[in-house]
Amino acid sequence: MPALTHLNRKGEAAMVDVSAKPPVLREAVAEGRILLQPATLDLIRSNQVKKGDVLSIARIAGIQAAKQTQYLIPLCHQIPLSKVQLDFELRSKAVHITATAITVAPTGVEMEALTAVSVAALTIYDMCKAADKKMRIEGVKLVSKTKGTSAT
């Protein structure tokens, strides 16, 4: 089993030192879904949810959350985000959420993509909670992460 990178020699939580690593183009894709009742999905499709345009607000919330990941995840590095994109697919029983995050940095961007999906799902939950008491968020996971060549 590989060693945990966020522990120091004493076994205490510690931020990983990435100062010797060059900035590299990195991309991460995460996904998740929120299960909703068919009537709630119809409200979203027809933009009839009383709180407003659910998917537009969830998109902005996901982007904003990705930009704040360093404050939400204690040992996460502050990285410059080049792009965060959220896509929504309305399915028969769920809204499927995909987030893509891109950076040029010495460390990965997967936490930002995962945070974007999670907060977008939570935003949908918040906006629809008056209409649907059976919503469930599930399947939040990293789909892929890639690393390009050095930017220096």
Residue 21 lies in a domain: no
Residues 6+ apart with CB under 8 A from 23: 104, 105, 106, 150, 151, 152
pLDDT tens-digit map of 18-71: 989 999 999 999 999 999 999 999 999 999 999 999 999 999 999 999 999 999
Identified catalytic residue from 17, 42, 87, 126: 126
| Joined tokens for residue 76 | 């996460």
CATH number at residue 69: 3.30.70.640
132 is catalytic: no
Domain, as residue range, for 48 = 38-150
Mean pLDDT for the chain overall:
93
Please indicate, yes or no, if residue 5 is contained in any of the structural domains.
Answer: no
Residue 8 lies in a domain: no
